């Protein structure tokens, strides 16, 4: 679990950098980049929630 969190830690920043490089007039590309960022953030939030739940069960702080 922690490896998956570590592995995806830089992904939101990478996606934000890609989004910043998209032509501001290319709405389709901006929407696709935003959707990828939203999916990434949702996945990380789910992993963090799962980690917290598991750590509570195991008594890890």
- Has this prediction a pTM greater than 0.85? no
Q: What is the pLDDT of residue 33?
A: 97
Domain, as residue range, for 52: 2-58
Q: Render pLDDT for 2-59 as a digit per residue (tens, 0 to 9).
A: 788 888 899 999 999 999 999 999 999 999 999 999 999 999 999 999 999 988 888 8
Q: What is the pLDDT of residue 61?
A: 63
DSSP string, the chain: -HHHHHHTTTHHHHHHHHHHHS-TT-HHHHHHHHHHHHHHHHHHHHHHHHHHHHHHHHT--
Q: Distance between CA atoms of 47 and 41, rounded to whole angstroms?
A: 10
- Write out the two tokens for 52: 């917290």
Q: How many domains does the chain have?
A: 1
CB 41 within 8 A of CB 48: no
């Amino acid at each position: 679990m922690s490896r998956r969190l570590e592995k995806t830690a830089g992904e939101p920043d990478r996606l934000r950098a890609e989004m910043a490089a998209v032509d501001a007039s290319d709405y389709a590309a901006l929407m696709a980049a935003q959707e990828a960022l939203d999916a990434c953030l949702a996945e990380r939030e789910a992993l963090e929630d799962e980690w917290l739940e598991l750590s509570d069960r195991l008594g890890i702080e």
